[in-house]
């Protein structure tokens, strides 16, 4: 795709110039209004992308052949999960299914592809990622019809979304999982949900450890939950408490470690949490991020929290988010899989095990259901 900047006296003028010069082929990527330094007149500038690809032509392939290739491609794109003999800590909810319902079997046009680009931009998907999606679409353009375009975009998005599961082997060693993250993102709530699911749904022994002795009321928050749900809770006030805690919880299947929320900018405070986690040696460390945060903030947090060597991401508060492109942006940027999404305050209901198809669907639709 070639990028060009077209200027005009006003928006209509600039748009007409784009049309005259490039016809329907141009995709408007962004617009800017500024004052000319010499004339002091307002200038409307449009940045446009010109697609040099030829028209999409899929006449050569029969209907049956096309369907077969589509299925084969989708099979390849889909991430395969699951391992025998392990218990996956996942909520009981089914993942909502989505349907593709365009009856037409016409070829896609450049306009259809432009609409996909616009939609992904609105959903805050990174421009670089959109380019990859479009490249994939172009590679399979002989297969594309109006009816299956959405299905293809979803399959491509899904193939780019890396997810993982919390698998527990019922063995002599407890599985230790820590959750770290900035303040107030929903770490403790998420831990309570995971603890309740592990106990109630999977009938496993679970213990919670909190190292949050800083925030007023933090211990009480978990104490109340622990009493209601009959789940053991221990507090690590100092590093030297850790061995005794591990000894007490040695028969648990899962130990969840709740950490104090800290700003990503405060290295000393993060280092203190790190020194606790070094002692606990968690098998998994999850970075909890709020889906409502800006891309800039999420990139900064996920970069600075790298000191914890986190193994997966939890996106909290998806129920409050207005779009979901950042789930893909951050996960791809940090090469880190997504393990859970949390979608509300209710314990233990509001948690969803991450599934690439589901995340692709919410990114594309901008809706949770
Ligand atoms: N809407 C919504 N609210 C949530 C979700 N998860 C947590 N919350 C709310 O967010 C607030 C903060 O949750 P906590 O679990 O205490 O957050 P935290 O990260 O442990 O906070 P600190 O320990 O203070 O850093 C509470 O009001 C929760 O009920 C979610 O998925 N959706
Ligand atoms: Mg907390």
- For residue 215, give the ligand 1 atom closest to its CA: 24
What single DSSP character describes residue 199? I
Separation of CA 187 and ligand 1 centre (Å):
6
Q: Look over the chain and give the mean of its residue pLDDT values, rounded to a whole number.
A: 84
Assign 92 a pLDDT band (cuts: 50, 70, 90): low
* pLDDT at residue 104, as a whole number: 57
Report residue 46 as tokens.
């449009």
CB 291 within 8 A of CB 368: no
| Beta-carbon contacts of residue 316 (< 8 Å; ≥ 6 apart) | 185, 186, 189, 190, 288, 289, 290, 291, 341, 342
Q: How many domains does the chain have?
A: 3
Task: Please tell me the number of Cα atoms within 13 Å of 14 on its side-chain side.
Answer: 20
Q: Closest Cα to residue 155, out of 140, 171, 142?
A: 140
CA quadruple 292, 293, 298, 302: dihedral sign: negative
125, 184: one domain: no
> What average pLDDT does the segment 260-269 reach?
86
Q: What is the pLDDT of residue 198?
A: 92
- Same domain for 211 and 247, yes or no, is yes
If asked whether residues 198 and 282 sit together in one domain, one would say yes
Say if residue 276's pLDDT is above 70: yes
Q: How far is the CA of 341 from the centre of ligand 1 (A)?
A: 13
CATH of the domain at 286: 3.40.50.300
| Helices H / strands E in the chain, number of each | 12, 13
Tokens of 38: 């010499």
DSSP single-letter state for residue 80:
P
Give this prediction's pTM.
Answer: 0.76
Average pLDDT of span 122-151: 92
If asked whether residues 150 and 175 sit together in one domain, one would say no
If we measure between CA atoms, which residue out of 250, 219, 253 comes closest to residue 236? 219
The pLDDT, as a whole number, for residue 177 is 98
| Ligand 1 atom closest to Cα of residue 259 | 23
Ligand 1 pocket test, pick from 178, 182, 183, 184 with the greatest ligand atom count within 8 Å of Cβ, gives 184
Together in a domain, 189 and 291? yes
Domain of 253, in residue numbers: 167-365
Q: What is the pLDDT of residues 329-353, one digit of tens each?
A: 999 999 999 999 999 999 999 999 9
Pocket test for ligand 1, best of 186, 194, 259 (most atoms within 8 A of CB): 186
Using the mean position of ligand 2's atoms as its centre, give its distance from the Cα of residue 90 in Å.
21
CA 191 → CA 98, 237, 244, 271, distances in Å?
29, 19, 21, 21
Q: What is the pLDDT of residues 170-226, one digit of tens each?
A: 877 999 999 999 999 999 999 999 999 999 888 999 999 999 887 878 888 899 999
Same domain as 110, residue 80: yes
DSSP SS3 for 369: coil
* Site residues for ligand 1, CB cut-off 6 Å: 181, 183-189, 212, 215, 218, 261, 316-317, 319-320, 342-345, 350
Least confident range of 3-17, 82-96, 250-264 = 82-96
Collect all residues with Cβ–Cβ distance below 8 Å to 42 and sequence separation of at least 6. Answer: 9, 10, 33, 34, 35, 36
């Amino acid at each position: 795709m070639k990028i060009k900047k077209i200027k005009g006296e006003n928006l209509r003028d600039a748009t007409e110039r784009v049309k005259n010069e490039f016809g329907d082929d141009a995709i408007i990527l962004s617009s800017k209004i500024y004052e000319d330094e010499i004339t002091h007149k307002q200038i409307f500038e449009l940045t446009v992308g010109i697609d040099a690809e030829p028209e999409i032509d899929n006449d050569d392939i029969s209907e049956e052949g096309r369907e077969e290739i589509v299925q084969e491609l989708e099979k390849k794109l889909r991430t395969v999960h699951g391992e025998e003999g392990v218990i996956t800590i996942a909520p009981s909810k089914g993942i909502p299914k989505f349907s593709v319902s365009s009856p037409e079997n016409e070829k896609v046009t450049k306009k259809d592809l432009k609409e996909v680009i616009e939609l992904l931009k609105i959903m805050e998907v990174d421009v670089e990622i959109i380019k990859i999606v479009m490249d994939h679409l172009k590679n399979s353009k002989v297969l594309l019809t109006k009816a299956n375009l959405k299905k293809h975009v979803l399959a491509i998005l899904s193939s780019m979304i890396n997810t993982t599961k919390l698998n527990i082997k019922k063995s002599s060693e407890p599985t230790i999982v820590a959750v770290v993250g900035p303040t107030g993102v929903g770490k403790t709530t998420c831990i309570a949900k995971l603890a309740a699911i592990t106990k109630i749904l999977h009938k496993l022994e679970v213990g919670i450890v909190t190292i949050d002795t800083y925030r007023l009321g933090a211990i009480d928050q978990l104490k109340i939950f622990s009493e209601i749900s009959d789940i053991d809770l221990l507090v690590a006030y100092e590093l030297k408490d850790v061995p005794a805690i591990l000894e007490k919880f040695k028969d648990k299947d899962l130990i969840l470690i709740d950490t104090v929320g800290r700003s990503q900018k405060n290295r000393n405070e993060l280092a203190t949490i790190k020194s606790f986690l070094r002692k606990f040696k968690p098998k998994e460390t999850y970075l909890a991020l709020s889906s409502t945060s800006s891309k800039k903030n999420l990139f900064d947090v996920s970069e600075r929290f790298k000191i914890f060597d986190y193994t997966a991401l939890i996106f909290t508060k998806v129920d409050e988010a207005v779009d979901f492109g950042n789930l893909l942006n951050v996960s791809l940027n940090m090469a880190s899989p997504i393990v859970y999404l949390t979608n509300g305050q209710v314990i233990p209901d509001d948690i969803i095990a991450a599934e690439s198809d589901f995340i692709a669907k919410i990114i594309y639709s901008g809706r949770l259901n």
